[in-house]
Structure 1
C-alpha cells in the first residue's frame, strides 16, 4: 500500500484521532512502541513520522531505509508479541518526506504490550491519546483474542449452595433427559457440575463460574450486578421520566419446566418476553367486513432478540444491564459490548454466524431450545417473521461499545 501526497496532506489537515497519530521522527523507542501497541489493541491506524503535534510537517531527518529499520527494530524489540507493520514514505517536496507506519486492524494477538523500562504495559487508544489499560479493559482484550473466556471465570465466595438445585436438576433430568437419580448426593452433583464448567476449583475451594451463576444462580446479581435486564416502556417515541411500566428483571436466565415443557417458574429470558407482551400495542384492521386484531410484534422475533442479547453480550462490562426499551413506534434491545471478532451485521442477516462470545451459555440455552441449532435465528426468527407479521425490516446497529436491535411497529418505520 502507498499514499499520495494529497491523501497525506488531507490526513494531517484532519488532525489526530483514534487511528491517526503524529510523531517527530526522533521519537523515543518507548514512546513509539506505546502508540503502536495502543493502535494494535484498538482498530489499527496510521502513525505519521515527521509531523508535529500541532500538524506542522517537519519531515524526517533520516533517510527512508534508516527510518524503516528503526521502526522494524522497535516492532520486534519493544512490542510483545512482535509485529511487522507496514512502512513507506511520502515525499512532500524535494527536501521533505513523511514516514507512514500502518498498523493493521483486527490484529489477532491482542493484547499487545509495549516495553516501559523493565515492564511490559498494555495500552489502549482513548480518542486521540494512548493510555494504560485498566484491568477490566485488558481482560476484554484477552477475551476478544479468545485467550480468556469470561463465562468460565470463578466467582469468589459463590459455590454450589448459591445455585438453584431445582433448576439444575430440571436441566439435567427434564431438558437433557439424563437418567440421574433423585437421590443423587450433593457430592455427586458437584462432580457433574465441575465436569459441565458450571463449577470450577481453585486449590481446595469449589466456586461457581460466571456461566453457572448466570444460568442457574439463586441471586446472580449479588456478585454479578450486570446480570439483569432493565426493561422500560415509554409512552412516546423517546426516553422520558414518565413511564408506562418498568422492571429490573433479575435472577437465573433459564425457566423451570415441567415434563411437558410448560413453564412453572420463569427465568430472566421468559420474564423479559412477558414484559414485552404485556406492554405491546395491538394492530387492528378490517377484512371482509370483519375486524381482525394482532400484536405489533411477533413473539418469536421478540424472544430471539432477547435471547441473543443475554447470550452474546459482554459480561466483562460490569454494572451494565441489557436494556429493553419499548416506545410507541419500536422496541429496542441493547446489549453491552461490540460484536465478537469475525461477526458482522451482514453475516447475521445471512445466517452464517458461527462465532460466539459465551459458548457455554449458548450451548446450555440451545438445549432449552432458546437458541436456534443452525445459527439462523436472526434471519428466520427476526427478519422473516417481522416481514411476515407486520411488513417491517428490523435494524441491527453496531456501535462502539454496544449492539442495538430495533423492531419497528407497522407504518412507523422511518
Structure 2
C-alpha cells in the first residue's frame, strides 16, 4: 500500500476518532480515502469478518445523517466489500464541516495538516466561514416572508411526541437575528410553492380526466398528493392456475411515495416551475424542477449516492419522518416493482432543469394481453416459469426480440431460452420471424 499522506488515511479499527478524519477530508481541497482494517505500522490488511464489515457500514451510515453538520449526504461513499474496507470522502462545498455535537469551534472542526487531522483554530473556522459562505443555496437564505406560522408542522411533531425546536431544526439563519430561512418557509403554513396533478384519458395529454393543485406546507402537499393517488391506484385481482388469488396495484405505493417525496425534497426552488404529477393509462410520471446537482450521474444516484440540493429541508423532513433510509429511494422503487413480480421497472429522464421518474402501470400490460394470460391459466401445455419470464419480457417490449437479448434480460442459459421459445411457439403464443442472424421472436 502507498504511504499515508494528506489524501490517504489508514486505521486499524473503527472508533469515534474516525469522525475527525472524515471532517478533515470534508474540509480539505480534494477529499481523501480512509482504509479501515489495516495495521497501523506495516500497512498490511487485517482479516476482517463479514459481521464486522457489516457493523462498520451501519455505524458510518448513521454518522452520515447524524454525526456531521452540514450533513454530507452526497460526499461519503462506503465500500465495505473491497479487499480493504474503504471510505471515500469528497471535499464539501459548504465548509466548514464539523462534528455536530461539538459545533463550529476548535473542538468540532478539523482540517488536514500533512497526513494528520488537527483541530482548526477559532480564527481559522471564522475565515473558512467567510471564504465558503453559502451562496445560492435556496433553503439557507433568509426568507422574504417572516410572518410564518407552523400549525401543520407542530401537529406532526406532536404526533411523533417530539419537541418542535426551530433552532435545532436549523430553520433560522446563521446571522443570529432569529430570521427564518427558506427551509422554514417551505414547511410553514404560508409556503407559496405548489404542486400540480393531472389525470389523462389515454396515453397522451390530449384528454383530461381530472386536474388538481396542492397548496400549503410541504408536508401537507406530500400527504395530499399521496392520498389522491392512493384513491385512484387500482387493485387488480388475478386468479392463477393453482386457484390462488394475486392482488396487484397499478403502481406499488412504496415506489410512489419515494418518487413523490424525492420530487419535493430535491426540487430546485429557484426555478419558476412546479412539481408535476401526471397519470396516464399506462404510466405515472413525476417531474421535479432541477437536474442532478453536485455533478453526480444517474448511475451514481442509482447506486445510493445522493445529490444534496436542500440540506436544511432534508434535515427537517428527516426529523418529521418523511424521509427514511436516505439515499436508498431509487433502489427501493426497483425493489417495490420486483416484489410485485413485475418485469417492468421504473425509468428516469434527466435534463438540465428537470428530473422525471416514470413508473409503469403493472396491470396495464396484463389487461392488454388478457388472452395470453388466459392461455397460461386454462391450458395444460406444460409451460413453466422460464416460459412465463420470457413471455413477460416480450409483452413489455411489444416488438421482435432476439434470443441473445432474452438470455441477457432473463439470465437464463442459451439451452433454456431455446427450449422455452419452442414451447411458446408450440402453444401458438409467439411466432418466429426472419432467418439466420436476423431471426427474432414476436407475440402473435
TM-score between both structures, scaled by the size of structure 2: 0.48
Contact 1:366/1:373 (CA < 8 Å) preserved in 2?
no
Matches within 5 A, 1:227-238: 227-238=193-204
Tell me the residue number matched to 2:211.
246
Counting only pairs closer than 5 Å after superposition, residues 211-360 of structure 1 correspond to structure 2 as: 211-215=183-187, 217-221=188-192, 227-240=193-206, 242-254=207-219, 267-287=220-240, 288-289=242-243, 292-318=246-272, 320-351=273-304, 353-360=305-312
Q: Distance in 2 between matches of 1:413 and 1:276?
A: 24
Task: Map residues 68-147 of structure 1 onto 2, 5 A cutoff.
Answer: 147=135
Measure the CA separation in 2 of the matches of 1:252 and 1:305.
18
| CA 358–172 in structure 1, closer or farther in 2 if over 3 Å, else same | same
**Residues 146/350 of structure 1: CA separation in 2 closer, same or farther (3 Å cut):** farther
CA distance in 2, matches of 1:277, 1:316: 30
Alignment check: 8 A CA contact 1:156 1:207 kept: no
Greater strand proportion: 1
2:377 is equivalent to residue 391 of structure 1: no
Q: 2:160 aligns with which of 167, 175, 188?
A: 175
Distance 1:413 1:197 in 2: 47
Q: How far 1:289 sits from its partner (Å)?
A: 3.2
1:326, distance to aligned residue in structure 2 (A): 0.3
Q: Give the 3 Å change call, closer, same or farther, for CA 330–347 of structure 1 in structure 2.
A: same
1:344 deviates by 1.7
CA contact (8 A) 1:338 1:398 kept: yes
TM-score normalised by structure 1 residue count: 0.51
Question: Per the alignment, in what secondary structure is the counterpart of residue 385 of structure 1?
Answer: helix
Matched-pair contact (CA < 8 Å) for 2:171–2:183: yes
Distance (whole Å) between structure 2 residues aligned to residue 386 and residue 311 of structure 1: 22
- 1:349: Cα distance to partner? 1.6
The answer on whether the counterparts of 1:175 and 1:367 sit within 8 Å (CA) in structure 2 is no
Q: What secondary structure does 1:244 align onto?
A: strand
Q: Distance in 1 between matches of 2:181 and 2:153?
A: 14
Give the equivalent residue in structure 2 for 1:153.
Answer: 141
| CA separation of 1:200 and 1:176: change in aligned 2, threshold 3 A | farther
CA pair 196-289 structure 1, distance change in 2 beyond 3 A? closer
The answer as to 2:344 corresponding to 1:378 is no
1:48-78 CA distances to partner (integer Å, 9 max, x unpaired)?
Answer: xxxxxxxxxxxxxxxxxxxxxxxxxxxxxxx
Taking a change above 3 Å as real, the CA distance of residues 368 and 157 of structure 1, as seen in their structure-2 partners, is closer
- d(CA) in 2 for partners of 1:338, 1:391: 28
Structure 1 residue 291: deviation in Å? 5.1
Name structure 2 gaps, 5 residues minimum: 1-91, 94-132, 366-394, 398-444
The structural deviation recorded for 1:385 is 0.7
How many residue pairs match? The answer is 234
Contact 1:323 1:333 in 2 (8 A): yes
Judged with a 3 Å threshold, the aligned counterparts in structure 2 of structure 1 residues 308 and 345 are, in CA distance, closer, same or farther, namely same
Cα deviation digits, residues 263-285 of structure 1 (max 9, x gap): xxxx1111111121122233332
